[in-house]
């Protein structure tokens, strides 16, 4: 399954594709697995760790892996992975789905994060049990704050390390 926006495609990574980025494998192995180029700095240590966690979650939830995997953000024109979205599980008892996202720095400021998060939100809210999309940001990540506000998010919690945001299911879909 691939989700498509105006300029981007979102492709959920299978266990086999995630395994290309963990252990002894490299970014080149992931590129080969996807048949795409990767933006230069997209697989840093933090993202590789996130992929290892997602890999174990996908193996534990193979039937519902779409809710537990990394989704490659693919720039259709460049045929390049420019980022990742992470879903951290199915809707919980409050209907919340926690997401994370990263866009390669060379593609910042062009609306790609807004497009990618908006696209995955549509898919999430197509499931009736999903009522909220939850994301966290660092307090000084003003670009991410702008992305989330643009998508209708409200800040609802704050700690010293993180701001927590939530996007409600659009009224027309309730």
Residue 169 in contact with residue 130, Cβ under 8 Å? yes
Q: 53 in the Ramachandran plot: left (φ > 0), alpha (ψ -120 to 50) or beta?
A: alpha
C-alpha–C-alpha distance, residues 153 and 117, integer Å: 11
Torsion of CA 80, 138, 69, 55, to 10 degrees: 100
Place of tokens 């970014």: 27
Place of tokens 């700095």: 41
Q: How many CB atoms lie within 10 A of CB 63?
A: 6
Residue 86's pLDDT is 94
Q: CA 65 → CA 25, 87, 90, 99, 122, distances in Å?
A: 21, 9, 9, 14, 18
Angle at 111 (CA atoms; ends 106, 112), nearest 5 degrees = 65
pTM for this model (two decimals)? 0.89
Residue 134's pLDDT is 98
User: What stretches in the chain show pLDDT beneath 70?
Assistant: 21-28, 40-41, 172-174
């Amino acid at each position: 399954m691939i989700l498509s926006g105006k300029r981007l495609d979102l492709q959920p990574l299978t266990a086999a594709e995630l395994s290309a980025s963990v252990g002894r494998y490299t970014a080149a192995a992931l590129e080969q697995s996807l048949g795409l180029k990767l933006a230069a700095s997209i697989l840093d240590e933090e993202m590789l760790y996130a992929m290892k966690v997602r890999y174990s979650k996908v193996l534990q939830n193979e039937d519902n892996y779409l809710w537990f995997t990394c989704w490659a953000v693919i720039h259709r024109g460049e045929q390049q992975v420019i980022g990742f979205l992470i879903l951290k599980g199915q809707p919980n008892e409050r209907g919340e789905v926690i997401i994370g996202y990263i866009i390669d720095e060379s593609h910042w400021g062009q609306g790609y994060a807004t497009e990618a998060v908006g696209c995955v939100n549509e898919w999430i809210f197509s499931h009736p049990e999903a009522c909220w999309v939850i994301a966290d940001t660092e307090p000084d990540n003003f670009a991410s704050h702008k992305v989330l506000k643009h998508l209708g998010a409200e800040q609802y919690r704050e700690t010293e390390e993180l701001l927590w945001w939530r996007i409600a299911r659009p009224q027309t879909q309730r």
